Amino acid sequence: MTPIYLSAQHSRWTPKTETDLQDAIDGGLLEESHYVDLKEVPSSKNGNKESARDMASFAIDSGTLIIGIAEDKTNRAFTLAPQPLSGLAEKMEQIARSLCDPALTILTSEIPSDADATQGYLVIHIPASPVAPHMVDGKYYGRGDKTKHVLSDADVVGLHEHRRSTDRDTLALLQEEIDNDPITGEYRRQAHLFLLAHPLAGPSDMLVDLASGNNWNQNLAIFINQAFTIELNTLLEGTDVSPSLQEAGNGFRRGAGAARASSNLGHGRIFTPNNEIFPEDAIELQVHEDGGLRLFTSRFSSATRDGSEEQLILPAAAVNHTHRFLALIKIASEHAGYFGNWALAIGATGLRGLRVHSNANPNFGFGPQARYDKDTYTRTTSVSWAELNNAPAATTQRLVGPLLRALEIERAYKHLLADS
């Protein structure tokens, strides 16, 4: 369960039992605030839309809605009031997805009652949304000290400008990675791919133990392997492109932390070709002490086998690496106990005039024939803890979807761009 912020003194409360809830009431810890709302039952006024408004109001700064706690407003007291749990979590998730615009991703956890396990309490965590504010029935909502309110036009404009500022900062970080591409000049033939993640509110030493602690090289290898679970491997079957992250078999120190990389990206990030058949192929994952993650691969295109040496874009590489990169962000979040938002960016270079490689033979005209008309592709977004858990495919779509559509190949990956 995601920790609940009650106060500066109780910033990481994680109730797991009915007793935990009762103890919090008895101790005076549970009260409605900017970050917490308590309800006996889901809002009945205006039906599901009122529940949507409640959740949307938390999406700016994050918060928690707990269902199953009744309030005596006269005496300003709270009591436990367990509710039927069957279907309740699914209902609230559907309301958040269908009635909030943009769709809101939430996390829910059930706490069964000791007396009757079919009844209990639903804890709904609404992370700070990377696309806040969210509209319900034509109005944007925020939250004051204890209640929700309709946002003013100025509030909405300010929030959108803050998001644009974050996007600009993220693009600047991505451009730094592109400018520092280790493979240039005579060795450069292929399109290159870059992925970047940075925690928006993490401490400066967020991943220092992973990047620089004892056994850092071995720990980074373990870290990477956690993105190759049976479940994810099954989902991504048929999309792996060599070199994969598991081929980043060597550890190196980097200026901001450490990296696992192919042997041809050694100390100082100096590229030394060591494979006559695939001289340019390289891959690297950097883990920064401040929580930043960087993925680089030099194989986002490959030459045809007909002797023409035409480079064809490998769209599967973008989809596959993005999914695994998001899995690594989730693992890093859990490792650091950081449940805030991340800024994300993807970039690709060397694309001008290239078309895609597909299972259809492009030399006979059966594959997509669209050629990309720019040298560089970039896209930014942000992702919440809830989206890392419940919507990695939708996040992947935000990053790579525009490129795939431009290349007429999005349909081939539709099952990896929408969450079930």
Closest CA to 195 of 89, 85, 300, 346: 346
Asked if residue 364 has pLDDT above 50, the reply is: no
Q: Which residues contact 219 (CB under 8 A, 6 or more apart)?
A: 210, 213
**Rounded CA gap, 160 and 140, in Å?**
12
Residue 41 is predicted with a pLDDT of: 86
Integer Cα distance of 362 and 368 in angstroms? 7
Kindly report whether the peptide bond that precedes residue 112 is cis, defined as omega within 30 degrees of 0. no
In whole angstroms, give the CA distance from residue 201 to residue 206: 10
Q: What's the whole-number mean pLDDT along residues 332-357? A: 94
**What number of other Cβ atoms are within 10 A of residue 70's Cβ?**
13
Select the more confidently predicted residue: 362 or 417.
417
Q: Does residue 296 surpass a pLDDT of 60?
A: yes
Distance CA 276, CA 298 (A): 15
**Residue in this structure with the two tokens 């004051």, named with its chain if needed:** 144
Q: Which pLDDT score is estimated for 2? A: 67
Tens-digit pLDDT profile for residues 240-279:
999 999 999 999 999 999 999 999 999 999 999 887 778 8
Q: Smallest Cα–Cα separation from 70: which of 107, 33, 32?
A: 32
Q: Which residues contact 194 (CB under 8 A, 6 or more apart)?
A: 174, 177, 178, 294, 295, 296, 345, 346, 347, 348, 349
Burial class (CB in 10 A: 0-12, 13-18, 19+), 198: buried
Q: What's the pLDDT band for 362 if we cut at 50, 70, 90? A: very low
**pLDDT tens digit sequence for 369-387:** 899 999 999 999 999 998 9
Q: What is the pLDDT of residue 333?
A: 95
What does the pLDDT read at residue 359? 58
pLDDT digits (tens, 9 = 90+) for 7-44: 655 556 888 999 999 999 998 888 888 889 999 887 66
Q: Give the pLDDT confidence of 95-139 residue by residue, as tens digits.
A: 999 999 999 999 999 999 999 999 999 999 998 888 889 999 999
276: CB partners within 8 A, 6+ apart: none
